[in-house]
Amino acid sequence: MSNKTQTRSPYSVMDEPHSEIDAATAPVVAPLAIEVADSKDETPPSREVVFDLRDVSVYYGQALAVAGVSLEIHRNQITAMIGPSGCGKTTILRSLNRMNDSVSSFRLTGSCTYHGNDLYASGVDAVEVRRRIGMVFQRPNPFPKSIYDNIGWAPRILGMRDNLDERVEKALRGAALWDEVKDRLKTSALGLSGGQQQRLCIARSIAIEPDVLLLDEPCSALDPISTASIEDLMQDLKNDYTLVIVTHNMQQAARVAERTAFFSLDVSGGQRKGILVEYDDTATIFTRPADKRTEDYVTGRFG
Ligand SMILES: Nc1ncnc2c1ncn2[C@@H]1O[C@H](COP(=O)(O)OP(=O)(O)O)[C@@H](O)[C@H]1O
Ligand SMILES: [Mg+2]
């Protein structure tokens, strides 16, 4: 049985701004295919590996987009991915929750595990993966629905209907939006500012209690004040979630992330492909990188 879901799911809909939502046709989520280790008491959070990528390469058709990526992402940390446009940051990020399944030419080689489970093994339910690993996109994409229904929609579909009011409030508080919207929950989410819409999208993601949040340049469409509030919010969220953020804003990576991965384009052999040049503590990447290419990039000599 193919594990690519062709049916509409809450998560694929979230990827499509303003698409029609039909709760009646959304699939029932299959039984859990992935066990999340509950090891809060066992190991210090910062050492627990959530994602482990070993020699991951991604192809779109014949084209090798990004090659040979190996990295570990740790629980309750913010991991940033930086690097010039086209070097495969989004590709790798979307590989972490099977978001690329909808791209027919997409092919991944190597090993990509989540809490020790192969994310690409047959039998892994991509819909369930995306329930645990939420995603926030560059452009805020609220549904053309009320603020309340934006947050309540996925929980309703997933059968989390009990105490929905409380769940909506908790998600909006978690995204630092409650105080701004509590008196207008039934009004359209499209009336919110860009920064509020992005926090709404974060609230929508956390309403179903995921394990991980992936954020792909979440502030690139926002003004500096909204950007600062999202960065503050990320610091709060990492107590409960593991965050991975793609950003082209190096200051942002330096401000928010514990670990930073620097990707670049390799043109040797006449083939352009993305590579992971260096991955280390953020302070190391920005102050004493091991690789000359990293140094050139973070000091603005290239990129
Ligand atoms: N859906 C796709 N189909 C074909 N090629 C793609 C697709 N998405 C990305 N690519 C290619 O993969 C490479 C990496 O892209 P991307 O991951 O978007 O880079 P970044 O996020 O670092 O800018 C680029 O050459 C891009 O053109
Ligand atoms: Mg990108």
- Section 239-268 average pLDDT: 96
**Digit-coded pLDDT (tens) for 124-137:** 999 999 999 999 99
* Residues recorded for the chain: 303
**Digit-coded pLDDT (tens) for 84-117:** 999 999 999 999 999 999 999 999 999 999 999 9
- Section 153-180 average pLDDT: 94
For ligand 1, atom 16, the nearest C-alpha belongs to 88
Domains of the chain, CATH where assigned = 46-298 (3.40.50.300)
Q: Is the per-residue pLDDT at 2 higher than 80?
A: no
In the block, which residue shows the tokens 């090659």? 67
**Digit-coded pLDDT (tens) for 212-236:** 999 999 999 889 999 999 999 999 9
Cα 114 to chain centroid distance, Å, stands at 14
C-alpha–C-alpha distance, residues 198 and 288, integer Å? 34
Residue of higher predicted confidence among 213 and 12: 213
Closest ligand relative to 84 C-alpha: 1
Q: Is the per-residue pLDDT at 46 higher than 50?
A: yes
Task: Grade residue 34 by pLDDT with cuts at 50, 70 and 90.
Answer: very low
CB of 8 sitting under 6 A from ligand 1: no
Closest ligand relative to 303 C-alpha: 1
Q: Is the per-residue pLDDT at 17 higher than 80?
A: no
- Section 244-270 average pLDDT: 95
Percent of the chain with pLDDT over 70: 84
Give the environment of ion ligand 2: residues with CB less than 5 A. Answer: 90
Contact call for residues 112 and 96 (beta carbons, < 8 A): yes
- Section 153-175 average pLDDT: 94
Q: What pLDDT, on the 0 to 100 scale, is given for residue 269?
A: 84
Q: Find the 65 Cα to ligand 1 centroid distance in Å.
A: 6
Ligand 1: residue of 69, 85, 90 to mutate (most ligand atoms within 8 A of CB) is 90
In the block, which residue shows the tokens 């390469």? 57
- State which ligand 1 atom lies nearest to the alpha carbon of 94: 17
- Section 141-152 average pLDDT: 97
Task: Grade residue 42 by pLDDT with cuts at 50, 70 and 90.
Answer: very low
Closest ligand relative to 216 C-alpha: 2
Task: Grade residue 6 by pLDDT with cuts at 50, 70 and 90.
Answer: very low
Mean pLDDT over each residue of the chain, to the nearest integer:
87
Could you tell me the two tokens for 2? 């193919």
- State which ligand 1 atom lies nearest to the alpha carbon of 61: 4
* Distant-in-sequence contacts of 263-266, Cβ < 8 A, 24+ apart: 263/66, 263/81, 263/82, 263/83, 263/84, 263/87, 263/88, 263/89, 263/92, 264/83, 264/84, 264/87, 264/293, 264/297, 265/84, 265/86, 265/87, 266/67
